Structure 1
Amino acid sequence: MTTIAAGKWALITGASRGVGAQTAIFMAKQGCNLILHSRNLAHTKALEEEVRACGVQVYSVQAELERLDEVEAMLDEIEARGTQVDILFNNAAVQIAYRTDYFHTPIEDYERSFRINFIAPAVICNRLIPKMLERGFGRVINTTSGIRNEPEQSGYAASKAALDKFTKDLASRLEGTDVTLNLTDPGWCRTDLGGPHAPNAVESVIPGIAVGAFIDDRKSGRFFHAQHFTGMTLEEAIAEAETMEASPYTI
């Protein structure tokens, strides 16, 4: 199966491990060229070799996402290389701590969570989506979380809620274009972030975590729960995703 991602360039933040690494390997198998982000170039060196074996082009970039200057420098580097980013996976996130004494959650939890989980993805979207619109093609997938009713993780959860709001509002301006912006949730997986007791293997995110890169119906603002697509072929996942509607605001 030849997909619309073949020959395109995808930027994956937080690509060095977990869901990001699974996404990178899957996209490479579909013929997609990759820009792998991590906090240090050494972290994606082995993954570069693995995906290069799939016959695609790949290089790595680094940035501490809580530092806006490093985010901007990373985007400047990609631009200086002449790479046109067609697909964006805002995957990277941090979950700082589980605060059982949640009424005393440190302010730093909120500050760091918002910088990494919301502000950095928003900055990347605002830099890359206008260029996608100019070229007439783009796919953006922002990774959210299904965590709810857990004030123990309020910094993380609130930052993801902000990303949800940003995504759905911006998506309203992309309807009818061939640039789509949607949300995905990998589910609770056994990763460094999810911990060893999570019910889902990280491999279960495929193909659902990436299905937003392959839809071709010019619709945005939808939510794709990766676990819903587990066990499907990519073709089946695309067909299922294109039947889904965006959830309207109910307030």
Structure 2
Amino acid sequence: MIDVKGKWCLVTGGCRGVGRLIAIEMAKLGANLILQGRDKSHAEKVIAELAPYGVQVKAVGCNLENEAEIDAALAEIDSFGVQVDLVFNNAGLMSHYFSDYTTNTMDDFRQAMAVNFFAPMKIVYHFLPGMIKRGFGRMQLTTSGIANEPELAAYACAKAALTKFVKDFACKLNGTDVMMNVMDPGWLRTDLGGPNAPNAPETVIPGALVSVLLDDKKSGRWFSAQDYVGKSIAEAVDAGRNVFA
């Protein structure tokens, strides 16, 4: 298990839901945080929650549907003059539910792909070269196990594309200390998952941290956060060593 104390960690969607929970747990471990939200002001409550842990916290705001806003946010992060070693590409957007699954719209696909695939892909390409040059880095991209629901085809396809994107990096990153994997949080009662989901948001911890804390130099794997419910962080990381694909 790696030591993240003093390292800088970017969490997209870090102002609420799963992102907020990840930020709190990483702060407990001593990591400094950069929180991304749709508006920078949305981070104020989380920044206050993180104060007791004595870590540095910064915030950026951008709409992940807007490439120009993403570019501006990344430029702002660069201007902080810090080295981002850990990235949780957590932010996501649920597509509309089409009861008549033959009526999914192209606009819905475009929006889902913009937020759930193109935005995290852009963030990966921004930070990955520096990680490779330094010989260290962790990236976790949030995927979904959604299947057989053509009513949500736009969301499902965007997450499938994201998973494929990450898995194909394994042939280049395996054996290095730059690791990139996907994490499925499970169906949660969040703003994205809705009130009928079976799992409380808190059940993603510690599973949502595992792929970033591992030190086994393996990439392209799928981690299911619900597999680690009830474990300590150390126990979860040890169990994560048994994930091979």
Specify the SS of the correspondent of 1:61. strand
Q: Output one character per residue of 1:136-182: Cα deviation in whole Å (capped at 9) or x when no partner.
A: 11010000001000001000000000001100012321111100000
Q: With the length of structure 1 as denominator, give the TM-score of the two structures.
A: 0.96
Q: Output one character per residue of 1:19-61: Cα deviation in whole Å (capped at 9) or x when no partner.
A: 1111111111111100000000111101011112211100100
Name the residue aligned to 1:231: 230
Specify the SS of the correspondent of 1:86. strand
Name the residue aligned to 1:187: 186
For the 8 Å contact 1:3–1:30, the answer to whether it is kept is no
Size of the alignment, in residue pairs? 245
Q: With the length of structure 2 as denominator, give the TM-score of the two structures.
A: 0.98
Distance in 1 between residues matched to 2:119 and 2:133, nearest whole Å: 22
Specify the SS of the correspondent of 1:53. helix
Aligned residue identity for 2:42: H
Distance in 2 between residues matched to 1:98 and 1:147, nearest whole Å: 13
- Deviation, structure 1 residue 129: 0.8
- Deviation, structure 1 residue 80: 1.2
Name the residue aligned to 1:43: 42
Q: How does 1:57-136 map to 2 (within 5 A)?
A: 57-136=56-135
Q: How does 1:191-206 map to 2 (within 5 A)?
A: 191-206=190-205
For the 8 Å contact 1:190–1:199, the answer to whether it is kept is yes
Name the residue aligned to 2:240: 241
Name the residue aligned to 2:148: 149
Specify the SS of the correspondent of 1:200. coil
Which ranges in structure 1 are unaligned for 5 or more consecutive residues? 247-251
Q: Which consecutive segments of 4 or more residues in structure 1 shift more than 2 A? A: none
Name the residue aligned to 2:10: 11
Q: Output one character per residue of 1:200-246: Cα deviation in whole Å (capped at 9) or x when no partner.
A: 00000000011111100111111110000011011111111112112
Specify the SS of the correspondent of 1:79. helix
Change beyond 3 A, Cα 1:96–1:42:
same
Q: Once superposed, what is the RMSD of the aligned Cα atoms?
A: 1.0
Specify the SS of the correspondent of 2:173. coil
Distance in 2 between residues matched to 1:206 and 1:108, nearest whole Å: 34
Which ranges in structure 2 are unaligned for 5 or more consecutive residues? none
Distance in 2 between residues matched to 1:130 and 1:171, nearest whole Å: 15
For the 8 Å contact 2:169–2:219, the answer to whether it is kept is no
Percentage of matched positions with identical amino acids: 49
Aligned residue identity for 1:164: T
Distance in 2 between residues matched to 1:21 and 1:171, nearest whole Å: 28
